[in-house]
């Protein structure tokens, strides 16, 4: 991400955010309708009353993107039942800035080293808590707290239409292991505003990352009826994903993706998966977003 550009993308599964998003859409609706017609910035904000040293000036044109999507995926990792979750879309960036290709599985990231085709920097991901009461398959296994994974990423584009990426993150909270995600994506611009991408995925996890979700100790075994299982780390999942994005006009964009992975190693061998779940994990997502410009001067 270049200096001066601020991008924040968040996703969550709580209904409250859906309500906030709906209210935001309604509030901005009246503003952007006139802006879309005129092709000008929707509104102008005054510059902040002071400027902090070392930070880029906020003056100029910015693009605000808001939207909503839905994701239909496993109830929990290893589950054989799926659930639908809302996914808010929100980003602010410099007007006209070309956003780098982003895969559905990518964590939030910011570049610290940028050669153009090779970038590296910080990456992070939020892992939702797993509560035993949310699913009958988890009965007796206890809760796993939410986890924050913090680490780094490196990605390389040998050509515009092919990306290699690795994120390696250390977990805090719900797990204290290391997770390393590898992905490759062929990115094919089919027509103006219409892009299709697809490629393989692979995940490696340490024992401390696997154990809280797939290990079963004696107490959990007694409470759940599953057999005791000591989950070790190693190759965790392999699969593939595909994504389609279509910019309908300068303001509206729709996207859809599907991600499939098959659990490997002790994640696949855990009784939670073999008895009550599935090693095949498929996630499907759709979304639509609206972008408009505003000015700070």
Partner 1 sequence: MFETSETKLRAVRYVGIISAVGDRMMVAKGGLTGLDNASRSFPIDSWGLDDLIVQRATATLNGRFQVQPVTYNRAAFAAVKDSVMTPVNLVRGDPFAKLLRTEVSPRGLDAYIVITKAKANIGGASGKIEGVGLITYATVVESYSRIFTLYEIRVIDGRTFDVIEKMAAAPLDDTAQVRLPGPSRPTDGSVSINTGDGRDESLRRAVIDLIVRSLPTTLNDMHLAPVR
Q: Which residues bind partner 1 (CB under 8 A)?
A: 1-4, 35, 39-41, 47, 49-57, 59-61, 63, 94-101, 111-117, 121, 157-161, 163, 187-194, 247, 249-251, 292-293, 295, 297
**In terms of CB distance, is 114 or 143 closer to partner 1?**
114
CB of 40 to partner 1, least distance (A): 7
**In terms of CB distance, is 82 or 100 closer to partner 1?**
100
CB of 110 to partner 1, least distance (A): 8
CB of 39 to partner 1, least distance (A): 4
Upper half-sphere CA count for residue 118 (Cβ side, 13 Å): 1
CB of 188 to partner 1, least distance (A): 7
C-alpha gyration radius of the chain? 21
The DSSP secondary-structure symbol of 138 reads G
CB of 108 to partner 1, least distance (A): 16
**In terms of CB distance, is 126 or 162 closer to partner 1?**
162
**In terms of CB distance, is 126 or 156 closer to partner 1?**
156
106 token code pair: 């990518």
Q: In this structure, how many other beta carbons lie within 10 angstroms of the beta carbon of residue 183?
A: 23
205 token code pair: 């996890």
**In terms of CB distance, is 18 or 295 closer to partner 1?**
295
Contacts 24+ apart (CB under 8 A), 216-225: 216/141, 216/270, 216/271, 216/272, 220/140, 220/141, 220/142, 222/140, 223/139, 223/140, 223/141, 223/142, 224/139, 224/140, 224/141, 225/140
**In terms of CB distance, is 247 or 262 closer to partner 1?**
247
CB of 159 to partner 1, least distance (A): 5
At 212, give phi and psi (nearest 5°). -60, -25
């Amino acid at each position: 991400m270049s200096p001066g550009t601020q991008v924040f993308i968040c996703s969550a599964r709580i209904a409250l955010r859906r309500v906030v998003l709906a209210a935001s859409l309604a509030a901005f609706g009246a503003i952007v309708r006139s802006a879309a017609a005129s092709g000008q910035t929707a509104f102008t904000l005054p510059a902040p009353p002071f400027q902090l040293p070392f930070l880029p000036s906020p003056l100029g044109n910015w693009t605000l993107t808001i939207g909503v999507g839905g994701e239909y995926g496993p109830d929990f990792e290893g589950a054989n039942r799926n659930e639908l979750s809302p996914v808010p879309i929100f980003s602010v960036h410099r007007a006209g800035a070309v956003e780098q290709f982003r895969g559905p599985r990518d964590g939030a990231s910011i570049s610290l080293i940028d050669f153009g085709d090779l970038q590296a920097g910080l990456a992070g991901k939020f892992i939702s808590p797993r509560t035993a009461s949310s699913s009958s398959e988890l009965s007796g296994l206890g809760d796993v707290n939410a986890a924050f994974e913090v680490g780094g990423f490196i990605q390389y584009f040998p050509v515009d239409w092919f990306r290699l990426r690795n994120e390696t993150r250390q977990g805090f909270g719900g797990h204290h292991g290391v997770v390393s995600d590898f992905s490759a994506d062929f990115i094919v611009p089919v027509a103006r505003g219409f892009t299709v991408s697809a490629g393989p995925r692979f995940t490696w996890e340490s024992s401390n990352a696997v154990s809280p979700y797939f290990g079963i100790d004696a107490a959990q075994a007694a409470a759940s009826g599953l057999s005791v299982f000591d989950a070790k780390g190693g190759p965790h999942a392999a699969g593939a994903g595909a994504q389609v994005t279509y910019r309908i006009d300068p303001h509206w964009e729709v996207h859809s993706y599907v991600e499939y992975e098959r659990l490997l190693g002790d994640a696949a061998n855990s009784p939670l998966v073999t008895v009550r779940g599935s090693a095949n994990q498929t996630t499907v997502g759709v979304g639509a977003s609206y972008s408009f410009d505003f000015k700070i001067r």
